[in-house]
Amino acid sequence: MKIDAIVTIPPYADFIGEVAAHPLVSGLRLNTVMPLRESHTEVLQRLSRFGKPVWIDLKGRQLRVVQTAIPPFTEVLLSHSIRVPTPVDAFFSDGNEAARILAVDGKRIILEDSPHRLIGPGESVNIIHPQLEIEGTLTETDLSYLKAMRSTGLCKVMLSFVESPADIMELKSILPDAEILLKIESLKGVSFARKHKNSLGRLMAARGDLYVEVVRPHRIVGALRDIIQADPRAIVASRIFDSLAASPIPYAADIGDVAFLLSIGYRTFMLGDTTCMRRETVLEALNLLDSVGRQFI
């Protein structure tokens, strides 16, 4: 089976055309938290001219920071209202920083302490508790992008934190012809994948948040296997060759990671924000993926 890649595109990068022309690239992903100087309709029209399918990554119920906060003891405003017993931990920076939530008031969480830095808009927040309830799914930005997709005729959507058939039904009610990649990013999402397999859409193992949400890091292995068994065409995303962002020489662990993913059946990879912000990094990641992948064809 051929190996291919979906690449995250910084909307104003001058290397989009070069990346789109790479033989491994089967699609371009627009991360909808990226700031724009133009309307959503205009950016979709412009990205469509590069000749590859454009995937719009909607955030759904994913929790994100919506305004700047400076700890210690501060409030953080989230993209959704939540309910969860407190105290409970919140995780920032891909799970590398934890802060204790002392109280919750709708979209406001009040932190006791860390992280000891400015928390900026757009950052993701993971709150892992069996009684966590997130109100609503699609955000105002999601709805604006869906409106723009209707006007431009685009239909390819990635939907974050899919956990229920109702998530797909809500999106389809707005964009009936949507082709949806279902991003599995939580334990509830993995259960959804086991139950529904690929009957409601192609699955994506979205490892950025999934690695945090499994709580115990080693459990990511079982989650990745469950997803590819549920959908043999599942896509694997994020945390792929991230070491290239810091060094032109990839870490051996990164190469071994991709080799493991190939060995259990993944053939479509999505390169995330970390790898795709610079021309040299994204092209090197694509060439490296091609070189490793050829050993599995």
Q: Does 42 lie in the same domain as 97?
A: no
Q: Does 146 lie in the same domain as 26?
A: yes
Asked if the model's pLDDT at residue 201 lies above 90, the reply is yes
Residue with tokens 């115990």: 216
Q: What is the mean pLDDT of residues 7-32?
A: 97
3-state DSSP assignment of residue 144 = helix
Q: Does 92 lie in the same domain as 232?
A: no
Stated length of the chain = 297
CATH number at residue 272: 3.20.20.60
Alpha-carbon distance of 58 to 140, in angstroms, equals 10
Q: Over the stretch 74-110, which tens digit does the pLDDT of each residue have?
A: 899 999 999 999 999 999 998 999 999 999 999 999 9
Alpha-carbon distance of 233 to 8, in angstroms, equals 20
Q: Does 186 lie in the same domain as 161?
A: yes
**Cβ atoms of residues 35 and 141 within 8 Å:** no
Tell me, yes or no, whether 146 lies in a domain: yes
Counted domains in the chain: 2
The contacts found for 95-99 with CB under 8 angstroms, 24 or more apart, are: 95/126, 95/211, 95/212, 99/71
Q: Does 149 lie in the same domain as 124?
A: no
Q: Does 248 lie in the same domain as 125?
A: no
Q: Does 141 lie in the same domain as 110?
A: no
Q: Does 291 lie in the same domain as 219?
A: yes
Q: What percent of the chain has pLDDT over 90?
A: 91
Q: Over the stretch 233-272, which tens digit does the pLDDT of each residue have?
A: 999 999 999 999 999 999 999 999 999 999 999 999 999 9
**Cβ atoms of residues 45 and 37 within 8 Å:** no
CATH number at residue 122: 2.40.33
Q: How many CB atoms lie within 10 A of CB 87?
A: 10
Domain holding 97, by residue range, is 75-133
- Overall pTM > 0.85: yes
Alpha-carbon distance of 239 to 258, in angstroms, equals 10
